[in-house]
Structure 1
């Protein structure tokens, strides 16, 4: 006995609804993703048992931040190169030629000593005479 087969229907996946779903998923991931850009260096300041806290001032200040690897940041802007020439150029640009501004050096406790000396040398060569080095107050040991 010969049975007659039913002709099969061609099954097709609609491409337009699939593209719509992909775009909705893409939009969902773009909206829910948080984009954070770290522009500041993480610095763990060294401790000091003596010192005076800085007096609040209305003047603009230049803050040189040095991380544990010796990378420089000036007023929150990371410098591409960590050498004397680029730091001097950044100090001149940021100060606008005003060498009377105070310069604050905040170096990590594990920063190589050479990086701190380079920052002090750059400030001195640029003509800055008001220089501070920041520390945190030492904790008393019981």
Structure 2
């Protein structure tokens, strides 16, 4: 005698044929897709005929040595503190209208020395600051 209820077999979805079809569709799409090449625009840039500068821009050159010494317009600063450097920058920029501070730092100078120059220029109110580099080989 069998007292158990008869078990119904539930229909099962077979995923393997579905995956096979999807793989074929993906391969078809990859082979049929055309890849467009980005073309560069060919430009003819305008030319300008300018006169040479009549007046050299006003600048203050700050040199930073490898050991942290400073020179403002080729005059050595006695100490290495930000306050002394700010005083030298103020004296060098006196009478100049919006001078450009050019930081000429040694390649092996400490980052803190360069940051001190930037801080001293900010304290004096010299907002225009740039760094001098030398042209090197292209990599």
Give the TM-score normalised by the residue count of structure 2.
0.57
After superposing on structure 2, the runs of 4+ consecutive aligned residues of structure 1 that deviate more than 2 Å are none
Count of matched residue positions in the alignment of Structure 1 and Structure 2: 87
Structure 1 residues 123 and 99, CA gap change in structure 2 (3 angstroms): farther
Deviations 1:92-128 (A, max 9, x none): 1111164611100000000000000000111111111
Extract unaligned runs of 5+ from structure 1: 1-54
Describe the superposition over 1:24-64 as per-residue Cα deviations: whole angstroms up to 9, x where unpaired. Answer: xxxxxxxxxxxxxxxxxxxxxxxxxxxxxxx9661331000
More deviation, 89-98/71-80: 89-98
SS in 2 for 1:136: coil
Equivalent in the alignment of 2:125: 127
Match of 1:69 among 67, 70, 93: 67
- Secondary structure of residue in 1 paired with 2:71: strand
Counterparts in 2 of 1:81-92, with a 5 A limit? 81-92=79-90
Query: Which residue is 1:115 aligned to?
Result: 113
* Distance in 2 between residues matched to 1:106 and 1:79, nearest whole Å: 15
RMSD: 2.0
CA contact (8 A) 2:58 2:98 kept: no
Q: 1:85, CA displacement in angstroms?
A: 0.3
